[in-house]
Each structure stands twice: as C-alpha cells, then as structure tokens.
Structure 1
C-alpha cells in the first residue's frame, strides 16, 4: 500500500489535541520537515505547473483506484508528493475524502510530515502527554522493510501532520550504490532547487499552533511578521528546517486564504543554488516580473502559484549553516 493511503487514512479527523498538564516532550533529536502532500486539479495539471512554469523535475509514481501520485525529490532528501484524481469515480479512503471536501475539489495542501530516526521515543513521549497517536504503520507491502510512520487520531495542529522514518533498503533509487547516478539526476532541477527549508501553516490562531509545537518538543519559537503576505506568527526551528505558524495580519494573501479555504499549508520555501535562474524560470512561466524581497531566509521571491496550486512557492538563495529562524522578528 502506498504511503499516502495509510497517512491519509489516519488524518481525516480534525480537532484539538487533549489538554495536558504534563511537561513538554524532550526536543526530538534529529527531526526535520520531510514532505507535503499537494493535491492538484488533476495529476497532469499539477505536474505541468511544477515542471513547466516553475522548473522542477517531476518523477513518476502510481495510479491507484483513480488517485495518482508523482514526486519532486531534493538533494537534502526531502520531497513533495503530488496527487491528482484520474477518473470520475475514484476510490477515496476517509482521509482523501476529507481532504477533497475541505479543498472543495480544488488544489492545495493540508498535510505534512516530520522525519525522525527516533520514532519509538517520540511516539512514547507523545503518548505520555496524552496525544491521540495512532499505532505504527509500515510499507511497502513486502518482506523488505521500507517506511514506518504514526499519525494522530485528533490533529494537534491546524494542518494535519505525521511522523515518518525510512529504512535503508527502501527506495532503491535512493540507496542502491549501483543507482547513485540515477539518484543524483533525479534531484537536479532546472530551477536549481536543492532543499525544502520551511512549511508555512496558516490558521486563525498562530499562538495555539505554537503552544502545541512547544508541548510536542519543538520550542525556541521566534515571533515574526511577513508584510509581503499580510501575516504574523512564529518561526519554529525543526532541525535544519522551519515550521511557520501564521495568522492573518491585515489585508493580504493570508487573509484571502483563510476566507476562501480555511486552515491549510499556505506556502513552502525552497533553497536554490541560483536564485536569478529560478526567478527567470518563474517569470517566463507566469509571464510577469516578480519582485525580490528580504525574507526570513534572505533574498527571496514568491512565485504567483496560489491559483494554480492552492499555495505559494517561495524561492530563496541557499544559506550555509545558522539557525533556520531569525534571531529577531522581521
């Protein structure tokens, strides 16, 4: 069974995590943001936007019961999973059905994953804090070990999340020494993207997300404002990556997204080795000039992908070392 089937099956029941007076979980060592699940209007539509307009290389996936997936993989081992309906009567599991209802059949993302090699310890600590975590699931369906994950029966954050790890024998194109050239090539993108650096959540209450993240072990939040999208909230470091918990702050993209779609993933940021190349590619794809600005990760630009993808894509120049969150609010 594909990863999306098990993940989404356990992510369909939204709600607040149970209140607890227990101390926060220890910081999950070695944890980082892994990937998002991004629905398109169709699998070819979302593939075309990502490849033609933005310059990503999209890799094949599978078509199971009328829902197809494809992948965009990065040098830092993170990825995007693209999803699309391929027939009029697809078979949805409960998670897929709930996603489609919330997205109203349009594009967008409501689920993302943390990756960690310490799943058992994290699972135990979250259980001790009275989070409604699921049992472990694994795949693919074979004798060969692959990924392991657990999710939540009641989502603690404004968007759905899960924790996942990968066995060394999973995805031969990634780990088989005879396929090293294939692995390298599949992670080279025309727009020069190399790494997923942050995922931006938007809700009506950024402080609620911050509190839950701190309780889960992700502390050290930094207050931020993002005038370019009319948002404020917090930048929370997750290993080398950052999770932004945002809410609308006046008129802007954040307010528009909440008004028309409710809580969801508002944007994803990618570090690129050649920012001007990424900008030229997006400007050709969207036939407009895109302004540069000083973002949380330095010089950046925002591709106008909201109508196409239901979220925004930020590109910024790669930075060596340092914290994924600023030391002071922006």
Structure 2
C-alpha cells in the first residue's frame, strides 16, 4: 500500500497477534490493514471466519457502514429479522473510540458491520490540539482523497441488491465493469458507491470467484492527480498501465490481486459528483442504444 501504491499507512495496535494499520482519508473513511504476527493469534469470530474463507491468503471479506444513529439502525434491522449482534466498543473507555454491531448470519455475500466513532478517533492521534498533525495523516503521496467505491463479488449480484434494499439502501442502478469482467448493480450509500457484482464472462471476477469464493473484489479511490497515481503504481509494479473510462470517469487499475487479494482502482476526483452517477449515465446510454 505504501511503497507500490503511494498511500500513507499509519500505525495501529497489536492486541493479540493480529496487528493493524490504517489508511485514513479526509472524510473520515478509512481502510484497516490486518496482519498476523504470531502462530496462535487471538482471532475474533469474524476474523477467524474470513481467514478460513480466504484460505490463509490475502484479501478482504468484510466492510463497514459508518452511521451515527446506531441504536435506531440496530432496532430496525432486528425488527426486520436480521440476526444482529450486541454492541462492541473499543479500544477502551478512557479516550475517543468506536462502537459497532455486526451480524451472527451475514445478510450479504461479504461480512459487514455498522460502526460509529468519534470524529477525532485515531490510534495515533488523540490530542485534539494537534490539528495540523491530524490533517497531514489524511494526505497521501499518490494524491488519494477519498474511498469512493467498494466492489462486492458473489455468484448472485441480485441477491445482494435485494438484501441492500431491505436494509434501507435502495436506488440500485445496473452497471458493467468490463475491466474485470463483472456486471451487477451500483448502490449509493452516502457519498460512497457499493457495487454488487457477479462475473460476466471471462476475467478477474470469474477467476476470483472460482478460486476463492465471494469477497470484496476491489476498491476505488478518488485522487487529485490521476497521472501521479498511475505513475506511482507503474513504478511499484514495474509495468505500463492503461487508463479506461470507468464509473467515475477516467480511471486506472493497479495490478494488486496477487499481493493484496483485490483490485485497486484510481480515478480523478469530481467535486459534486454523486455516487453511481457514472452507472446511471452508462445505463442511460445502453437504453438509448437499444
């Protein structure tokens, strides 16, 4: 993430043989990186399940929704029949932290949870007087500004779409990602696009599902300078990369499947652009052509 792709990776903790690191963004979204540091790590149930499904290799099967009204969401989902867990909190009660709940039975093809955390929460930055330090931890050499999309892969994209609609995330738009051989739906979740995908012909999606099953297929990042992010990935992976017209405009796909277990897409940021706007435009053009 740091050397090959140009992200700033921040320190975390090692509470029981599973060490974490953070890639944080200005809008308070983040990617958490987990690594095993001893032969007998203290997995929580979700970690253990993901580790088994990933067959010990790299990748991701879990993502989270940030929400302020956790109690109301918990009650509503329980009322809809979802097997929600009790609340978990951390890292301790003495300083700003987080509060979350998950599911005993995953409603989507990848595991998910709902979380809320203090606006200034960061394991490496608890002093609110250090506003400058807090700001620069969200600045990345590759120019990344936002986590703009999460790509879920399964054998049935419509099943994920239906579950998301039941959970309160509707307005799905059909979408195709020819760069990875996938099709499905784009669902807007706040400022982020959640893609529910399945293989569409040969490509990365089909290969990934066949070899490893449902998981997070990829993530998209909006960057201030696409050329810089492309050059950084080209130097990191020592190969030439080609841009394409993606859901968020001009984009480039870094060849990260072997070392990260998922795809990483960079695209130029477009202020004011709504999530799934590109999918809506693509769907409209397809209907017009038909």
Is the Cα contact below 8 Å between 2:87 and 2:100 reproduced in 1?
A: yes
Structure 1 residue 94, shift from structure 2 partner: 2.6
Of stretches 125-134 and 209-218 in structure 1, the one that deviates more from structure 2 is 125-134
Counterpart of 1:94 in structure 2 is: 45
**Distance between the aligned counterparts of 1:144 and 1:186, measured in 2?**
19
Matches within 5 A, 1:7-156: 50-144=1-95, 146-156=97-107
2:250 to 299, 305, 310: 299
SS at match of 2:20: strand
- Which of 241, 259, 271 is the equivalent residue of 2:192? 241
On the 8 A contact 1:192/1:273 being kept in 2, the answer is yes
C-alpha distance in 2 between matches for 1:87 and 1:174: 27
Query: Given the alignment of the two structures, is residue 276 of structure 1 paired with residue 227 of structure 2, yes or no?
Result: yes
Q: Residue 200 of structure 1 aligns with which residue?
A: 151
Counterparts of 1:153-192 in structure 2 under 5 Å? 153-168=104-119, 170-171=121-122, 176-192=127-143
Cross-structure match for 1:35: none
CA distance 1:70–1:78, change in 2 (3 Å): same
Q: 1:328: how far off?
A: 3.6
Q: Which has the higher contact order (CA 8 A, sep 6+)?
A: 1
**8 Å contact from structure 2 (residues 120, 128) kept in 1:** no
Give the C-alpha shift of residue 146 in structure 1.
Answer: 2.3
Partners of 1:185 and 1:169 in 2: how far apart? Answer: 13
Other-structure match for 1:226: 177
Instruction: Please point out which of 152, 156, 160 is paired with 1:209.
Output: 160
Instruction: Give the direction of change, closer, same or farther, for the CA distance of 1:174–1:93 in structure 2 (3 Å limit).
Output: closer
TM-score by length of 1: 0.82
1:162-188 deviation line (CA, Å, top 9, x unaligned): 001113564386674411111111111
| Counterpart secondary structure, 1:212 | helix
User: Which one is further off, 152-161 or 90-99?
Assistant: 90-99
Q: Hey, what's the Cα distance between the residues in 2 that align with 1:298 and 1:175?
A: 37
The 3-state SS of whatever aligns with 2:253 is strand
Distance 1:184 1:235, change over 3 A: same
Query: Is 2:28–2:119's contact at 8 Å kept on the other side of the alignment?
Result: no
Aligned to 1:16: none
Q: What secondary structure sits across from 1:53 in the alignment?
A: coil
Q: Is the 8 A contact 1:304 1:313 kept in 2?
A: yes
Provide the rounded CA distance (Å) in 2 between the counterparts of 1:206 and 1:329: 18
Aligned partner of 1:309 among 260, 273, 281: 260
Where does the alignment leave 5 or more consecutive residues of structure 1 unmatched?
Answer: 1-49
| Greater shift in the superposed pair: 256-265 or 123-132 | 123-132
For residues 324 and 127 of structure 1, what CA distance do their matches in structure 2 show? 28
Q: How far, CA to CA, are the matches of 1:170 and 1:184 in structure 2? A: 13
Q: Please give the per-residue CA displacement for 1:96-117, whole angstroms capped at 9, x wherever unaligned.
A: 2221111111100000000011
